[in-house]
Amino acid sequence: KTKRQSVYKLQTLTSWLLKQEQDGIIDAELTIVLSSISMACKQIASLVQRAGISKLTGVHGAFNAHGEDQKKLDVVSNEVFSNCLRASGRTGIIASEEEDVPVAVEESYYGNYIVVFDPLDGSSNIDAAVSTGSIFGIYTPTDDCLLDLEDSTTLDTVEQRCIVNVCQPGNNLLAAGYCMYSSSVIFVLTLGNGVFSFTLDPMFGEFILTQENIQIPKAGKIYAFNEGNYQLWDDRLKKYIDHLKDPGPSGKPYSARYIGSLVGDFHRTLLYGGIYGYPRNKKSRNGKLRLLYECAPMSFIVEQAGGKGSDGQQRILDIQPVEIHQRVPLYIGSIEEVEKLEKYFS
């Protein structure tokens, strides 16, 4: 008979965050920002799971800054995320995949933290109920981002200062995480001292601590690339991919897995090992993924788990963004697998 873990012993995300605050790892303000992010993710989880019922599948009928056809849930998730962050009263600037420019939280009730996020990642999967997610990163301002919007600064100065405060390298991240909406709803978080995962218990709507100090396997024989772009790739990359398919002396080639949602492919890679890649190609010079709110947060997490995030030549976390929606190639996962790929580009 398995020993039932008594409920009072369960660590919820809320109690875990308060413990981090007690231990001085984060301050009360950041605790509030993270709680508001987890609340946004719970709301999005419920919207995603009931999309077909509440007629939230399909397109919104507008395009975002990337010329992507926004899904209804892209827009709704963006509103949920923004409203939760504003209501927290601890954020000064928010930048989102679904906002053309960063938004200074203009209410009189704002704080210092800067939050960048992809409110719904893998949104092309929504109508078929395949895994999606939300990704976020948190910075403090580089200069005083408590913008005094009442003063006579013109819009572009405010906007410029917002962009300056948001365009920071991933090395400056204080916290990063994602929530995956899949067969389980799993919230993964790092505060710079290890990676922790929390599973949503639908019984009482709380995230329960399920994994501590996650370490990604050093190697793994699973690769996740959209091989539909194979003919558009650099010849050195084609050689690398061909190598993965060579059964070799073991007689076993790598396995291909591709969900088409970075959060889903990344989470599997984090737990099972292997490599996820979104290379540059002839169609898109810098690949498809955005540095600020997809590649940098995921690279912070993977490094905290002993893995590597690279653009093929350098650490993703070293890259200084020059514009909000800047794209970079991304190779991320087990350190031995990413370094094996980098050798093909050296």
Binding-site ranges for ligand AHG (CB under 6 A): 68, 97, 118, 121-123, 226, 260-262, 265, 288
Q: Which of 31, 70 has the CB closer to Mn ion?
A: 70
Q: Cα angle at 213 between 209 and 215, to 5 degrees? A: 125
Q: Shortest approach of Mn ion to residue 328 CB, angstroms?
A: 13
DSSP code at position 294: I
CB 269 within 8 A of CB 224: yes
Q: Which of 76, 120 has the CB closer to Mn ion?
A: 120
What are the counts of helices (DSSP H) followed by strands (DSSP E) for the chain?
A: 8, 15
Q: Which does 288 bind (CB under 5 to 8 A by kind): ligand AHG, Mn ion, none?
A: ligand AHG
Q: Shortest approach of Mn ion to residue 115 CB, angstroms?
A: 15
Q: Shortest approach of ligand AHG to residue 8 CB, angstroms?
A: 38
Q: Which of 237, 262 has the CB closer to ligand AHG?
A: 262
Q: What is the C-alpha to C-alpha distance for residues 253 and 336, in angstroms, rounded to an integer?
A: 16
Q: Shortest approach of ligand AHG to residue 63 CB, angstroms?
A: 12
Q: What is the C-alpha to C-alpha distance for residues 183 and 160, in angstroms, rounded to an integer?
A: 41
Q: What is the C-alpha to C-alpha distance for residues 30 and 43, in angstroms, rounded to an integer?
A: 20
Name residue, tokens 């194979």. 230
Q: Which does 261 bind (CB under 5 to 8 A by kind): ligand AHG, Mn ion, none?
A: ligand AHG
Beta bridge partners of 178: 135, 188
Q: What is the C-alpha to C-alpha distance for residues 228 and 225, in angstroms, rounded to an integer?
A: 9
Q: Shortest approach of Mn ion to residue 69 CB, angstroms?
A: 9
Give the residues lining the site for Mn ion (CB under 5 A). 68, 97, 118, 120-121
